[in-house]
Amino acid sequence: MNKILAIILLWYIYSPLMFAQSGVHIHGGSFLKRVEYNMSLYENKFNLDSKIGIDKEFFGDRNAMVEFLFEIPNDEAVGFRIVRDSLIENYILEFKYFRPIPKNYSISKRFAGLLYQNMVSFITNFKAKRDFPELSKEAIEEMSQNPHIQIETIIFVSGESERVTFRTVIEDELWTLWVEKPQGNALKMLNFCRQMIADAKSDKFDEKNYLSLLKELSFDSQ
């Protein structure tokens, strides 16, 4: 018996609200871009509704100007965020690890600003392309009526591959981008962030090593 495998991708991570865009994230996994209020509508507190699991454990007390989380199934989750130290009017880069003790580094306003600008540009300009041949309505109907053809549906869901969370605050809005198996500029941003985390873990982090890299990163058009 002839067997035709029709693969239907259901693209979601945390929410049924999903949409496809065109651009450089090709041959990657599912993604979700979410924009919501930074503060609760009814209480004077941060809106933390989209944070669950390790995301909530790492960043569940506030929404920082920049947040990054990298998760690999059955492996260690790592991340960082930038918070402002109101006492000395400086910025703190907090590195988060699932097992090791978190590490904090004081960073300059310049470095914090460049990282924030790149994160804003990357998230707001993120594009993705679903590089998968679509079956026509007529082809699907013909196959469904043919007893010698078996149609199977495969559902790809979150949790099966590495997942990255990029988050930033733009005025009154909280912008979050979740990406599985990132490609293109998403992979470029991931590698940059992971290198900082690795250097911090080995006590080698120095913002001067990243200033030139931040200037070279460009996400204005994807």
Q: What is the pLDDT at residue 22?
A: 34
Mean pLDDT by 10 residues, the chain (222 residues): 35 34 64 95 94 95 97 88 83 92 93 95 88 59 57 39 93 96 92 96 94 84 56
List b or e across 22-38, with b for residues whose CB sees 16 or more CB atoms inside 10 angstroms. Answer: eebbeebbbbbbbeeeb
- Which of 85, 44, 99, 69 is CA-nearest to residue 162? 69
Which amino acid does the sequence have at 204? K
CA atoms within 13 A on the CB side of 126: 28
168: in domain: yes
DSSP H or E segment with residue 196: helix 184-201
145: in domain: no
| Total-model pTM | 0.76
Cα 69 from Cα 167, distance rounded (Å)? 9
- Which of 16, 7, 14, 33 is CA-nearest to residue 128? 33
- Which of 23, 29, 24 is CA-nearest to residue 11? 29
Q: What is the CATH number of the domain that holds 59?
A: 3.30.1560
Q: What is the pLDDT at residue 69?
A: 97
Cα 54 from Cα 35, distance rounded (Å)? 20
Q: What is the pLDDT at residue 29?
A: 84
Which residues are paired to 167 by β-bridges? 67, 176
15: in domain: no
79: in domain: yes
The neighbour count for residue 104, using CB atoms within 10 Å, is: 13
Q: Which two tokens stand for residue 116?
A: 């924030």
How far separated are the first and last CA of the chain, in Å rounded?
Answer: 45
Q: What is the pLDDT at residue 28?
A: 78
Cα 199 from Cα 219, distance rounded (Å)? 24
Torsion of CA 112, 202, 188, 73, to 10 degrees: -120
19: in domain: no
Q: Tokens 């940059």 appear where? A: 192
144: in domain: no
Q: How many domains does the chain have?
A: 1
Contacts of 198 (CB under 8 A, 6+ apart): none
Full residue range of the structural domain in which residue 76 is found: 31-128+158-216
Where are the extended beta strands (E) located within the chain? Answer: 31-37, 66-71, 78-85, 90-97, 103-107, 163-170, 173-180
137: in domain: no
